[in-house]
Each structure stands twice: as C-alpha cells, then as structure tokens.
Structure 1
Amino acid sequence: MPKRVDHDVRRREIGEALLRIAASRGLQAASMREVAAEAGVSLRLVQYYFHSKNELLLGAMVYLGEQLSARVERHIRARGLPPTPQSTIYGTLSAILPTDDESRRLTRTYAAYYTLVLAEPALGAEHGGTYPDALERFLTRQLQTAQEQGEVDPDLVAPTVAAALLALTNGLGSSVLGGQRDGAAAEAILIYHLDRLFAYRSRHQKA
C-alpha cells in the first residue's frame, strides 16, 4: 500500500527550508534547487508545491509569520494570566527583540525578506506588509483598551504610538544584529520606554 502523503506538512517543510536559507545566507541567491537540497527533496517536488520562486517566497512568509506569532503568544502567557493590555504589549514587543537563538533567527529571516523587497518592490507590494500591518493594528487595540482602563494617557493617538513602538523595537533589533548592543541592552531600552508609557496611572494617582 503506498504511503499517504500529508501535502500540508510537505509544503510546510519546503517553506521552512527556504526560511532556514534566509536566516543563514539571505534570499538573493536562494534558488528553488537550493531549497530542494535544504529540504531533502527533489526540485520537481518543490515545483509541484510552489510553481514559482515568488510563490515559494510568499508561502514561506506565511510560515514565518506563524512562527513569530507563536513566540509572541508564549511571551504573553509567560507574563501571567489573565493577560492585560500592559502585559500583552510588553510580551509582544520583547518577543520580537533578538535576545536568544530563536528570536535572532526570526529577525535575520525578516531582514532577509526586507532586503529582497528593496530589490524586488513587487514582492513587498503583494504581501510584504501583511504581518507588520496586522501587528500594528493589534498593538493599537491593546493601547486603546489601556486608555479605556486608565493605564495610559487618553490623549495619546493609539495608532501613532503603536507604529512608533514597533519602529523602536525593529530598530533595536537591527542594532543587536549589527553588533551595536546586545539583546539585554536593547530590551532595557524598550522596557524603559514602555514603563514611561504605562506610568500614567501611578503619576495621576499621586497627583
């Protein structure tokens, strides 16, 4: 009896092989043949599941977003249950920083995609902003809830602050990868700014 193939699992294995190449060598020279070798399958099989390199790049990006989402969820849970807007924002942004092997791999992989988008803008226009946009909206909702609960300044423009926090976190991540500072120093900077943001209630209670 022929072995039954789980096509979703096989497709994911190929997509994650591309992500490993992205993290270690970048995407500019990543051919479908190299992905096949990394995945331990034939080139024909890669072409069966992904009809073009662009399709493979976009498919693998979905898996990358899932990996980061899973890491964020773990960090939020680690800050205690039930989650609050404050613990959710702290957990989300600290999960993105490259402070350990997993987060450094994720950050390098996203950097590889960003580099590729600079050379191939059509890729970014098609799918490149999906996860960052969703993350900004998620942070915005958390900030709006925190405003309703009196945890942060009600006069803040939540979408703008969310975008700024994400930009700060991404910039700190780049500084870690570039060797300017280590992960602990980057996290300390992030926490400093978040602590100031969420000090609103305690400041007004004293007043």
Structure 2
Amino acid sequence: MPKRVDHNLRRLQIAEALWRIAASRGLEEVSMRQVAAEAGVSTRLVQYYFETRERLLVEALALRNEHDRKRIEGRLPEGASLRDAIRVLLLGLLPLDEESRQSTLIQLAYGVRAVNDPLLAEHVIRPSKPGLDELVTELLAGAQAAGQLHEGLELMREAGTLLALSNGMSYDVLMGMRSADDAIALVDYNLRRVFLSEAT
C-alpha cells in the first residue's frame, strides 16, 4: 500500500525552508532550486506544490503570517483584558526571542523584495497592514465603550501610532540599538498614555 502523504505538512516543510533562507540570506536571489535544496526535496516537488517562484514567495509568507498569528494568540492569557490583548500583539511584533527574531528577519526580507516587486507588494505586504490597524482599532473601540480609555482619542490614529511604534522599534532591537527591556517599556508607556490607569 503506498505511503499516504500529508500535503499540508509537505507545503509547510517547503515554506519553512524559504523562511530560513529569507532570515539568513534575504530573498533577492532566492530560487526554487535553492529552496528545494534547503528543504531536502526535489525542485520538481517544489514546483508541484507552488508552481512558480512568485506563488512560492506569496504563499510562504501567507503561511508565515498565519504561524505568527497563532504564536501571538498563544501568548494571550485566558480571560485577558483588552489592554493585555493589545500589549501581547504589540510585543509579539518585536524580536524579543528567537522565533520572533526570525519573523522580523523574514518580514524585512520580504519588505526589501517588495520595494521592487509590485505583485508582492500589492498582494502580500500592503494588505497585511490594514488588517492589523483594524484589529487594534477594534480592540481600542471595545476598551473605549467600557470606559477604559482617556477621552478625546482618535482610535484609528492611536492604533496606527501603537503599531508604528512596535514596527519601528523592531529594527532597533534587531540591530542592538535598543534593548528589549527599553522596547517593552516604551510599549507600556504608550499604553498608559491611551488607557486609564485603573483599566483592566
């Protein structure tokens, strides 16, 4: 009886190989042959699952984004407050451990590639930002409805500011220009600026 193949696992195996290349060498010169070698599979198998280099790049990042979403959600304590949910999200975007460091390197590699790749920018990079903005805005709106925020805040602007803070500090932490403790302290400072001190 032929061995049953887990196609989702095989696709993930190939995507993980691309992630490792992206984190260590970037994506400018990446090829399906290089990804196949890194994954320990044939180039034909990579082509079978992803067909083209462009699809491989797009779908591998989509898989990584889903991986990161589950990673961040997994750090949220049961019964966490809206403030804690936003804090976990913001800290999850920072390279504070090896896994989140790899995610930051992958996102940077894709960002560099997307500058000169309109398809990648249009279908992968740009759509991800509004999603996070909307999520944080929604969480802030819930906190506002519960009377947990300072008055007079523009929620969309505050969401954008908080996300820009974490995204902007990622490079500084990665390069050792800012310590992890300092980055966490800045996130907490800005949450205190938005949330009332007694908010839970």
TM-score for the superposition, normalised by structure 1: 0.91
CA distance in 2, matches of 1:7, 1:201: 49
Q: Which runs of 5+ in 1 are unaligned?
A: 203-207
Q: CA deviation at 1:192?
A: 1.2
1:37-52 matches, within 5 Å, as: 37-52=37-52
- For 2:132, the aligned partner's letter is L
CA distance in 2, matches of 1:72, 1:12: 19
**Post-superposition CA distance 1:114-135 (Å, at most 9, x none):** 0100121221112222332211
Contact residue 136 and residue 162 of structure 1 kept, 8 A:
yes
CA distance in 2, matches of 1:126, 1:100: 28
Q: Which residue of 2 aligns with 1:132?
A: 129
Q: CA deviation at 1:73?
A: 0.7
Moved over 3 A (4+): none
Work out which of the residue numbers 105, 122, 130 in structure 1 matches 2:119. 122
CA distance in 2, matches of 1:190, 1:17: 32
Q: CA deviation at 1:138?
A: 0.8
Work out which of the residue numbers 141, 162, 166 in structure 2 matches 1:144. 141
Q: Secondary structure at the match of 1:27?
A: coil
Q: Secondary structure at the match of 1:151?
A: coil
CA distance in 2, matches of 1:174, 1:199: 30
Amino-acid identity (%): 41
CA distance in 2, matches of 1:170, 1:193: 14
Work out which of the residue numbers 95, 99, 116 in structure 2 matches 1:98. 95
Q: Which runs of 5+ in 2 are unaligned?
A: none
**Post-superposition CA distance 1:90-138 (Å, at most 9, x none):** 1111111111111111111111110100121221112222332211111
Q: Which residue of 1 aligns with 2:11?
A: 11
- For 1:7, the aligned partner's letter is H
| Count of aligned residue pairs for this structure pair | 199
Q: CA deviation at 1:201?
A: 5.5
TM-score for the superposition, normalised by structure 2: 0.94
Q: Which residue of 2 aligns with 1:205?
A: none
CA distance in 2, matches of 1:114, 1:87: 28
CA distance in 1, matches of 2:36, 2:139: 41
